[in-house]
Structure 1
Amino acid sequence: MTGRVAAVNLGVVTEAEWAGDASGRSGIDKRSVGSPVQFRVDGVVGDFIGERAHHGGEDQAVYAYAEEDAAWWATELGRGIGPGGFGENLTTYAVDLTGAVIGEQWQVGSAVLQVTKPRTPCATFAGFWGVPDLIKRFTVRALPGAYLRVLREGEVGPGDPVDVVDRPAHGVTIGEVFRATTLEPELLPRLLEAPDLPESIRDKVRRRLATRS
């Protein structure tokens, strides 16, 4: 089955004690829109981002989460989780985000996107859901979704196909990066085989490996 965009979601301003921004504002609450949205190198037009020290930027311009993985969490928590419930800009269907290779490129609408890194769960995420142990549970489940660069700006809308147009041969996946940097440090050396992994992560990997040698 061809992967597609199930929903495009934009963040609204949420003020709360759990918000990570110093001003107490967060953009984690994202709502689906019915029409195509412009995806730019620096992010999605109309998407509010609160804590820019940790969110947004070229390596995290777009966040994607799978509809199928959201359904698992809905069952696990006994609650409905609609599009944007994970703070994602793209809710995907029939796209293997955990198995996506770092650096692979997608044609989506008129944009070209590139897989960069997994999402790391944070206290803002746990506060938004009202689940105090969410970070631990999210880490153990290891289905983090994928951040994307925008290589070619364009419009993306609900129902657009997600076509993989290039996949690097190294095979390092979103799932491997997440597990290596959380619960399985023995996987860390493998991450250096992925040149498109953001340099900030590669630096952390080198430092952690240096302390083990």
Structure 2
Amino acid sequence: MPPHLLSVNTGRAAPVARTDNPGGLTGIDKRPTEGGIAVDAPGPKGTGGSGLAGDSVADLRHHGGDDQAVYAYAREDLDHWSEELGQPLHNGVFGENLTTEGIDVNDVKIGERWRVGDTLLLEATSPRIPCSTFADWLGQRGWVRRFAGAALPGAYFRVLRPGTIRAGDRIEVVHRPAHDVSVALAFRAQLGEPALRPRLLAAGTALHTELYRKAVAWAEPATATDTTDRTDPADPAEPAEKTESAEPAEKTEPAEPVAATGAAKSIG
């Protein structure tokens, strides 16, 4: 079967015990929808949220906006984590808008373009960088480091042409750049392999705007000593607690593990 959408997932912002968002809300818990969902560019970071109608982004400092309008994650990678964690994982549990099947999302190149359904055109911008909210939602100690080590981040996309999509829609790769900057390489360059950073500029301005600025800075001799970055590509000034190494010591009681098929937790 050709690459396709297993589900299109949205969620509402809801309170959670621990989150990096000062408002105490997160929109990470997304659930499969029925029927068509309109997708369009949401606007710039800080004011624009999700690209999917009916989907919420609670923390606009670090998430949402045109360069992170849509997040895709492969069902094959969810199955990997389900086996690793010893628990079922439902589509949308990683906060992904698109749960895909039949395509290696981590091998997607920055600037690669997908036509999804009849009209939606997406362009890959960056990998997902894990944060403590993600770890607390899953109830997994050491999750940020574990997720980073696996290098299965999934991909963020910007919307080049709006459209309406639904589960079962075909994914067609209509443009694949000649450079070698994959989503996985961009992820590794930010989390633990700084030697890869000079290669990021080959993707040019197709990169997430903030990641492109970082790549330019990393290429300058004056910033060559910066080898410890762990921030979200959308926010070069991200607080330290967004990383595993800086998580507060009191995080010794992980949240209850996610149930894939039961009632949704109070997280939107």
Residues 115-140 of structure 1, C-alpha deviation per residue, up to 9 Å, x if partnerless?
11000000110010111210000000
Match of 1:154 in 2: 163
Match of 1:2 in 2: 2
Q: Given residue 191 of structure 2, which amino acid in structure 1 is its aligned partner?
A: T
SS in 1 for 2:123: strand
Match of 1:29 in 2: 29
Query: Are the counterparts in 1 of residues 70 and 158 from structure 2 also a CA contact under 8 Å?
Result: yes
Partners of 2:122 and 2:216 lie apart in 1 by: 27
Match of 1:69 in 2: 77
Residues 19-41 of structure 1, C-alpha deviation per residue, up to 9 Å, x if partnerless?
23211111000010121100011
Query: Are the counterparts in 1 of residues 73 and 105 from structure 2 also a CA contact under 8 Å?
Result: yes
Identity fraction in percent: 43
TM-score of the two chains, using structure 1 as the length reference = 0.97
Query: Are the counterparts in 1 of residues 198 and 218 from structure 2 also a CA contact under 8 Å?
Result: no
Which of 211, 215, 231 is 1:205 aligned to?
Answer: 215
What is the CA distance between 1:207 and its match in structure 2?
2.6
Partners of 1:14 and 1:84 lie apart in 2 by: 15
RMSD of equivalent CA atoms? 1.2
Query: Are the counterparts in 2 of residues 104 and 166 from structure 1 also a CA contact under 8 Å?
Result: yes
Query: Are the counterparts in 2 of residues 12 and 31 from structure 1 also a CA contact under 8 Å?
Result: no
SS in 2 for 1:206: helix
Query: Are the counterparts in 1 of residues 67 and 209 from structure 2 also a CA contact under 8 Å?
Result: no
Partners of 1:202 and 1:13 lie apart in 2 by: 29
Match of 2:115 in 1: 107
Query: Are the counterparts in 2 of residues 192 and 202 from structure 1 also a CA contact under 8 Å?
Result: yes
Q: How does 1:72-111 map to 2 (within 5 A)?
A: 72-109=80-117, 110-111=119-120
Which structure 1 residue ranges, 4+ long, deviate > 3 Å from structure 2? none
Partners of 1:2 and 1:179 lie apart in 2 by: 28
Residues 141-196 of structure 1, C-alpha deviation per residue, up to 9 Å, x if partnerless?
00000000110001011000000011111131001100111111111111001011
Partners of 2:11 and 2:151 lie apart in 1 by: 24
What is the CA distance between 1:78 and its match in structure 2?
0.5
Q: How does 1:45-194 map to 2 (within 5 A)?
A: 45-109=53-117, 110-194=119-203
TM-score of the two chains, using structure 2 as the length reference = 0.77
Match of 2:18 in 1: 18
What is the CA distance between 1:200 and its match in structure 2?
1.1
What is the CA distance between 1:198 and its match in structure 2?
1.9
SS in 2 for 1:87: coil
Q: Given residue 138 of structure 1, which amino acid in structure 2 is its aligned partner?
A: F
SS in 1 for 2:105: coil
SS in 2 for 1:170: coil
Structure with greater proportional strand content: 1
Partners of 1:24 and 1:107 lie apart in 2 by: 36
- Counting matched residue pairs gives 213
What is the CA distance between 1:95 and its match in structure 2?
1.1
SS in 1 for 2:203: coil
Partners of 2:168 and 2:224 lie apart in 1 by: 47
Partners of 1:122 and 1:46 lie apart in 2 by: 24
Listed as ranges, the gaps of 5+ residues in structure 1 are none
